[in-house]
Amino acid sequence: MMSETKGIMRISWGPQHPMSGQFRFILETDGENVYEIIPDFGFTHRGIEKILEYRTFVQGIVPFERLAMVDAANVGLAYVRAIEDAANIEVPKRAQYIRTILCEISRINSHLYAIGLAAEAAGGYPAIFLWTTADRELFLDLAEMLTGARWSYSFFIPGGVRADIPEGFKEKALKVLSYFEKRLIAYRDSWLENEIWLTRSKGIGKLSTEDAIKLGAAGPSLRGSGVELDMRKEDKYEAYGEIDFRMAVQKEGDCQARFMVRFLEMIESTRIIKQALENMPPGPFKKPVPPKLPKGEGFARVETARGEMDVHVILDGSDKPYRVKVCAPSFRNLYVISKLPKLTKILVADVPVVVWSFDPWYLDADR
């Protein structure tokens, strides 16, 4: 398959591939340099926005979180907050803290997954890949204790959460977090400062600050290029306004900076969980909400692990939403990836590392 220019071929970094996820990138390359990356959308489109019009509000949380299952809590939170914004429902304080804890557990899960697969993308680096898988198990067990499922929580409903914190959760969570902090030291020593990893990821895929803002990057891609924007600090939703944590920002804008941002965010997540568990207020964990909600429009922004997700909901007085529109962070990051070969030099062997440093979740992008 040769295109018009002599010597440039189109390689399909395709859906059936060990390292691309379920997505097809078309690379225009001459064997080493990549001249264009064209994302080919639509492989995993399921029409979730249309499905939601035929589900009631409580039923709708289940398909919605399948948008990005690895990070299900943050994504499910966006929908629920949009409905609460449309119907002016006030959530009790205890529910806000429980939501925060589950969101941060979900964020740690998602970042560990991204790190493991990025290490695998850089060359079959089995140690980090399997360590992250093993450490995720502990957090999945924690989430199972709280919600009843390991990945597909379906735990947030308009008005609060579905159940309260069970007995023994706090002690187990503190034990897991102290073990995890020791593991983070092992990750830093053997992965972040690994000489060969640094040659694979430092200075590669550089995205300057102006380009990050202009092209619309989201999440750790944005914060890895020096822009200080985090929805948790902007909107101060749920309990984030009362918890003290730092925003993880790096200035360089290359792959290593993005991974550092994820690493630092994991450290901050452990601190958030500890503070939320300490300061848990007493009270009810949900508020009764009528099945039919009055007419209105609602909007919510949530900082998922991959970036900012916006949900716009229009209610028409019945028990199902009239229209739900989702703006996904991975879609924006894929646009940035497609513009990247024009900005910096990328070789074919860099493509996996660069793509995984932006960490797009393709089901998010295709919806």
Partner 1 sequence: MAELPIPIPLPLPDWIIEFIALNWETLLKIAIIPGLAFILLFELIAVWFERKFLADAMLRIGPLYCGRVAGWLQLIADALKLTIKEVFAPKGAHKLLFYAVPIVAPTIPALAVVLIPFGPDWILFRASGAGLLLFFALTSLIPVTTILAGWGSNNKYTIIGALRSAYLYIAAEMPLFIAAAGVVILAGTFDLVKIVELQSKMWFAIPQFIGFIVFFIAMLGASERVPFDIPVAEQELVLGWRTEYTGIAFGLLMTIEYACLLAWSLLFITLYLGGYQGPPILGPGTASGIFWMLVKLGIVVAVAIFLRVVFPRYRIDQALRLGWRYLIPLALLNIFLTLAMKPYLLAMLQ
Partner 2 sequence: MKPSEVKQGLLKPYAVVFKHVFKKPHTLMYPYERLKFAPRYRGFITVDLEKCNGCGMCARTCPDKCIELVEVPGRKYKYPKIDYNYCCFCGLCVDSCFRGALSKTELVELSAYRREDLVVRPEDAKPKPIESVSPMLKRFVAVKIVDDNITYEEVR
Residues that bind partner 1 (CB under 8 A): 9, 11, 13, 17-19, 31-32, 119, 121-127, 130-131, 134, 190, 194, 196-197, 199-200, 347-352
Tokens of 273: 């969980």
* Contact call for residue 193 and partner 2 (CB under 8 A): yes
What does 38 bind: partner 1, partner 2, none (CB cut-off 5 to 8 Å by kind)? none
* Contact call for residue 62 and partner 2 (CB under 8 A): yes
DSSP symbols for 137-178: HHHHHHHHHHHS-SS----EETTEESS---TTHHHHHHHHHH
- Measured from the CB atom, the residue of 192 and 327 that comes closer to partner 2 is 192
> What's the number of CA atoms in the CB half-sphere (13 Å) around residue 177?
21
Query: Cβ of residue 255: shortest distance to partner 1, in angstroms?
Result: 12
Using the rule CB under 8 A, which residue among 12, 22, 44, 59 binds partner 2?
59
* Contact call for residue 289 and partner 2 (CB under 8 A): no
Residue 28, helix vs strand vs coil: strand
Residue 338, helix vs strand vs coil: helix
Using the rule CB under 8 A, which residue among 26, 69, 145, 277 binds partner 2?
145
Q: Phi and psi at residue 102, in whole multiples of 5°?
A: -65, -35
What does 147 bind: partner 1, partner 2, none (CB cut-off 5 to 8 Å by kind)? partner 2
- Measured from the CB atom, the residue of 120 and 265 that comes closer to partner 1 is 120
Using the rule CB under 8 A, which residue among 3, 9, 47, 198 binds partner 2?
198
- Measured from the CB atom, the residue of 9 and 149 that comes closer to partner 1 is 9
Question: How far is Cα 50 from Cα 321, in angstroms, rounded to an integer?
Answer: 10
Question: How far is Cα 367 from Cα 44, in angstroms, rounded to an integer?
Answer: 7
Q: Which of 10, 21, 258, 266 is nearest to 120 (CA)?
A: 21
Strand partners, 304: 307
What does 255 bind: partner 1, partner 2, none (CB cut-off 5 to 8 Å by kind)? none
Residues 6+ apart with CB under 8 A from 179: 138
What does 285 bind: partner 1, partner 2, none (CB cut-off 5 to 8 Å by kind)? none
Binding segment for partner 2 (CB under 8 A), chosen from 16-24, 57-65, 81-89, 223-231, is: 57-65
User: What is the identity of the amino acid at 269?
Assistant: S
Query: Cβ of residue 220: shortest distance to partner 2, in angstroms?
Result: 23
* Contact call for residue 100 and partner 2 (CB under 8 A): no
* Contact call for residue 322 and partner 2 (CB under 8 A): no
- Measured from the CB atom, the residue of 20 and 154 that comes closer to partner 2 is 154
Using the rule CB under 8 A, which residue among 14, 15, 92, 148 binds partner 2?
148
Residues 6+ apart with CB under 8 A from 367: 45, 46, 47, 48, 49, 67, 326, 328
Binding segment for partner 2 (CB under 8 A), chosen from 5-13, 182-190, 203-211, 277-285, is: 182-190
Question: How far is Cα 104 from Cα 73, in angstroms, rounded to an integer?
Answer: 8
Distance of CA 254 to the CA centre of its chain: 19
Q: Tokens 């990057």 sit at which residue?
A: 217
Using the rule CB under 8 A, which residue among 11, 19, 58, 289 binds partner 2?
58
Using the rule CB under 8 A, which residue among 141, 181, 228, 297 binds partner 2?
141
Residue 323, helix vs strand vs coil: strand
Question: How far is Cα 24 from Cα 70, in angstroms, rounded to an integer?
Answer: 20
Q: Tokens 């749920």 sit at which residue?
A: 238
* Contact call for residue 181 and partner 2 (CB under 8 A): no
Distance of CA 20 to the CA centre of its chain: 17
* Contact call for residue 195 and partner 2 (CB under 8 A): yes
Q: Which residues bind partner 2 (CB under 8 A)?
A: 55, 58-60, 62-63, 127, 131, 134, 137-138, 141, 144-149, 152, 154, 162-163, 166, 175-176, 179, 182, 186, 189-191, 193-196, 198
